[in-house]
Amino acid sequence: MGERSGERANGASRRGFLAALAAGGGGLAFAELLAAAGVSEGPLSRAAVAAAERLAGLTFTDEQRDLVLAGLEEQAGAYAAMRELPLANDVPLALQFRPDAFSEERPALLQRVRTLPERPPRALRPVPDEELAFLGAAELGELLAARKLSSVELTRIYLERLRRLDPQLLCVVNLLEERALAAARRADQELAARRPRGPLHGIPWGAKDLLAATGAPTTWGTGYFREQVFPGDAAVVSRLEQAGAVLLAKLSLGELAWGDVWYGGTTKNPWRLEQGSSGSSAGSAAATAAGLVGFAIGSETWGSIVSPCTRCGATGLRPTFGRVSRHGAMTLSWTMDKLGPIARRVEDCALAFAAIAGPDGLDPTVVDRPFDWTARPDPRKLRLGYVPALFEADPPPGEEEARAHELAALDVLRRLGFRLVPVTLPALPVEPLAIILTVEAGAAFDDFTLGGGVDTMVRQGEESWPQVFRLARFVPAVEYLRANRIRSLLIREMNRSLAAVDALVTPSFGGDQLLLTNLTGHPAVVLPNGFRSDGTPTSLTFVGRLYGELEILAVADLYQRETGFHRLRPPL
């Protein structure tokens, strides 16, 4: 094809996009705006953007218009890529409409108490307190149940570490000391009366600050919402309270769930303090890895659990879409947002997931599917797939050590008895479908954009929410719906790819798999698989079939126990 052919195609895309705006974005009225602005067919210009601003009810500066122009060029290429795939009339949207979702009658939040078989508690309490801070939730639960440790004592240990180490990490938005100590005292009383609520009873945890919690602001990481207070707890906060867990703190997230930069600064990687923790579950991953909480809850739309867990050496579970209620959580994307646990061990992720999964009558997307960690299968009897091309491709510059760790992980899995089955991922356009997130995020924060709130955000420029929110106004509805129809095909093909295996091992950032699996809603477990020569962690991911959390957690737990990378501690 060559560069000249590409230039002609891009020019055609620009003209087609301009025509689409004129035809679909207001018809004659918009065409008249373009004509009045002296805009004709040809390359997009500031004048074209300015004319479109009037229709959208926005006003940009020239600098912002230049940024939008650059983004529109990229979006036009995405539209062209999607149009190359023929779609029959019977291809549905990857969306569902539930009329009963708008009923004013809501069932009460379900009380879901799960317990594990009793295991012999640790004979001696470890000392010093730092040893306690890095134990897994399951181990801490044994000590609490055996009355060798009190929840109040454990809570004070974590509160002290949060105060002492947060100035280095910048991971705490609000400390909830009064609430935490009251919950810890209640947990101790119930445990003394032999009324255990489950394996998390008395375990302190942290919430990503996009989850509402009574008595504290929910800032979403941006100063604009710094004083925002909701009247009740998010569903996952209520579920964990029912399980007896102790909420310690609201933890940082990148502004409106992007990156690790929030109004309080940049949350740091505990393994390398001059480096950000990545995001957007920045504080959840950093605090967990640094032993400041027993576990945390994060969220993922496109990598916000996988990425900070990789950077900070934590273990995270991104559940299947529709497994965990998002009631009381900030909405970024109605069809892609997922809440999940971040911990130091796979088992702790399983315990936390068991406590928060299932419908509550408040989030209509949530399904009721069984999950019983006590009945987990023998992982060696599971069929484990891998995509050879993702392990054989040249690694990105500077990621040679990460690739060596990924290949070493395959050797470990073979040594554990797995026969790795080659799998091929869907050969469909994935990157262009990112406009689904662009549009939904833009819609979720449309009033914020129209009211000028985006101008108060810390991060501006090309790679920022202000740019994305503004660009969202320029995506034709037809393109958004077309992307969702392709998404339907992607889900079908991904299900076929995984039909012959129970789990898939993959580089965490291999190819398009991270965006692909977030679009299709498949679950994933991310965990450390080694350390670079500079001391920072790398990661490996296990992807499961829809609602296949039990299988991928079982495989990941076996790998983690064999390798032991999760036992290492950052040098704080």
Angle between helices 477-497 and 435-444 (to 10 degrees): 130
Residue 358: which residues within 8 A CB-CB, separation 6 or more?
110, 112, 323, 325, 366, 368, 369
- For CA atoms 353, 355, 359, 361, give the dihedral sign: negative
Contact predicate 440/245, CB 8 Å:
no
Nearest CA-CA partner of 506 in 526, 491, 520, 487: 526
Residue 173: which residues within 8 A CB-CB, separation 6 or more?
209, 217, 219, 221, 249, 250, 251, 252, 262, 264, 283
Pairing mode of beta strands 338-343, 295-300: antiparallel
Q: Concatenated DSSP letters for 21-83? A: HHHHSSTHHHHHHHHHTT--SSS--HHHHHHHHHHHT----HHHHHHHHHHHHHHHHHHHHHH
Q: Where are the beta strands (DSSP E) in 90-211?
A: 172-175, 204-208
In angstroms, what CA-CA distances link 242 with 89, 183, 486, 530?
47, 11, 40, 36
Angle between helices 282-289 and 151-169 (to 10 degrees): 120
In angstroms, what CA-CA distances link 330 with 299, 301, 511, 563?
10, 12, 29, 36
Contact predicate 53/471, CB 8 Å:
no
* Distance of alpha carbon 490 from alpha carbon 439, whole angstroms: 19
* Distance of alpha carbon 437 from alpha carbon 333, whole angstroms: 6
Pairing mode of beta strands 315-318, 524-531: antiparallel
Contact predicate 151/202, CB 8 Å:
yes
* Distance of alpha carbon 270 from alpha carbon 6, whole angstroms: 45
One-letter amino acid at 41 equals E
Specify the 3-state DSSP secondary structure of 441.
Answer: helix
Catalytic (active-site) positions: 208, 280, 304
Q: Which pair of structure tokens corresponds to residue 569?
A: 């501690």
Q: Which pair of structure tokens corresponds to residue 139?
A: 């181990």
| Maximum distance among all Cα pairs of the chain, rounded to whole angstroms | 82
Specify the 3-state DSSP secondary structure of 293.
Answer: coil
Cβ density class 84-97: b for 16+ within 10 Å, e for less: eeeeeeebeebeee
In angstroms, what CA-CA distances link 418 with 392, 406, 558?
19, 15, 11
